[in-house]
């Protein structure tokens, strides 16, 4: 595996598998947000036409090299991945990452969604539905990002949210068994609270089970200060660029630098 990322081998160390526990009296922490916005599939045209065999008057014509097909990267996520807050779709973090990595972007993110959260009346697809909107086996890379819109459900009843996270990654592997998996964890423009840590831990564990490369946006917290949009929720162009840099650096980092400790969600919630 790891054909489409970078040379040198990218690995995620095994983190402890999390158990879905009944967590009574969960302490309300800071960081819960409802990330809105609009989304939908966006398939940019390939950057440049494919090469063709060159015609030559020479008695022994030699074919010109054929351009290697760009790997297709599927992005699943919320309004951060849609690019709400950026001044142009070309400046959203997913597009910046795709350009840097040489991927062809297929972005099906929907604003206000998560592993659980969706809105059928507004045709807003949660992450499993976003995955199902793309034909099986049709992409080379799957990037699943975010999850902060599930903070409210996590506070009310954490078990189903943890289960949904695990099921989403299992579904991604089932539908795209030959694809590389990349996991970009949840974020928050406020102080990192208990629910943010718990969801981040659940995503890390599910990513490890899916053999995905995990990218943390909480360690350190990246969405803060001038990177937060004036709406107080989303990210500016600078914020999108910062997220893109962290994703690319993680993907390009040596395997030893990608080791994650990752505690189980129950440990996070009961440690304070």
- At residue 13, the pLDDT reads 36
CA-based nearest residue to 162, from 186, 131, 134: 186
Q: What is the dihedral of CA 6, 260, 12, 14, to 10 degrees?
A: 170
User: Six-digit token pair at 123?
Assistant: 């045709």
| CB 73 within 8 Å of CB 106 | yes
What is the reported pLDDT for 212?
A: 98
Q: Are the beta carbons of 141 and 119 closer than 8 angstroms? A: no
DSSP state of 179: S
Q: Determine the Cα–Cα distance for residues 212 and 114; give it in Å rounded to an integer.
A: 18
pLDDT for position 67: 57
Under 8 Å between Cβ of 117 and 186: no
Q: Which residue numbers in the chain have pLDDT < 50?
A: 1, 7-60, 261-272
Domains of the chain: residue spans and CATH = 72-270 (3.40.50.1110)
Stated pTM of the model: 0.73
Compute the chain's Rg from CA coordinates: 19
Residue 253 has a pLDDT of 85
Cis? peptide before 205, omega within 30° of 0: no
Give CA angle at 243 (241, 248), nearest 5°.
95
Q: What pLDDT is stored for residue 64 in this prediction?
A: 52
User: How high is the pLDDT of residue 2?
Assistant: 54
Q: Please, which residues have CB within 8 angstroms of residue 75's CB and are 6 or more apart in sequence?
A: 81, 94, 105, 106, 107, 108, 109, 143, 145
Identify the sign of the CA torsion 101, 106, 111, 114.
negative
Q: For 41-73, how does the pLDDT look when each residue is reduced to its tens digit (9 = 90+)?
A: 443 433 333 332 233 344 445 555 555 789 999
According to the model, what pLDDT value does residue 68 have?
73
Q: List C-alpha distances in Å: 105 to 47, 71, 98, 122, 143.
A: 11, 9, 6, 24, 10
User: So what's the pLDDT on residue 181?
Assistant: 98
């Amino acid at each position: 595996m790891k054909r489409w990322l970078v040379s040198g081998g990218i690995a995620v160390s095994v983190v402890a598998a999390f158990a879905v526990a009944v967590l009574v009296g969960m302490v309300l922490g800071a960081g819960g947000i409802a990330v809105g916005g609009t989304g939908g599939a966006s398939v940019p045209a390939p950057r440049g036409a494919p090469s063709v065999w060159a015609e030559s008057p020479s008695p022994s014509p030699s074919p010109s090299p054929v351009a290697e097909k760009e790997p297709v990267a599927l992005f699943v996520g919320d309004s951060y991945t849609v690019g709400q807050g950026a001044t142009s779709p070309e400046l959203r973090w997913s597009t910046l990452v795709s350009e840097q990595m040489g991927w062809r972007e297929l972005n099906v993110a929907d604003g206000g969604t998560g592993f659980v959260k969706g809105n059928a009346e507004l045709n807003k697809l949660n992450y499993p539905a976003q995955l199902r909107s793309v034909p099986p086996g049709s992409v080379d890379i799957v990037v699943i990002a975010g999850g902060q819109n599930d903070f409210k459900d996590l506070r009310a009843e954490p078990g189903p949210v943890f289960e949904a996270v695990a099921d989403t990654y299992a579904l991604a592997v089932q539908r795209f068994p030959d694809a590389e998996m990349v996991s970009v964890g949840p974020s928050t423009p406020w102080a990192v609270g208990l629910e943010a840590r718990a969801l981040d831990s659940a995503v890390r564990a599910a990513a490890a089970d899916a053999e995905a490369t995990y990218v943390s946006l909480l360690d350190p917290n990246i969405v803060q200060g001038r990177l937060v949009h004036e709406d107080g929720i989303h990210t500016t162009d600078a914020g999108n660029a910062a997220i893109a840099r962290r994703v690319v650096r993680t993907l390009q980092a040596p395997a030893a630098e990608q080791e994650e400790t990752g505690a189980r969600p129950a440990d996070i919630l009961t440690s304070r």
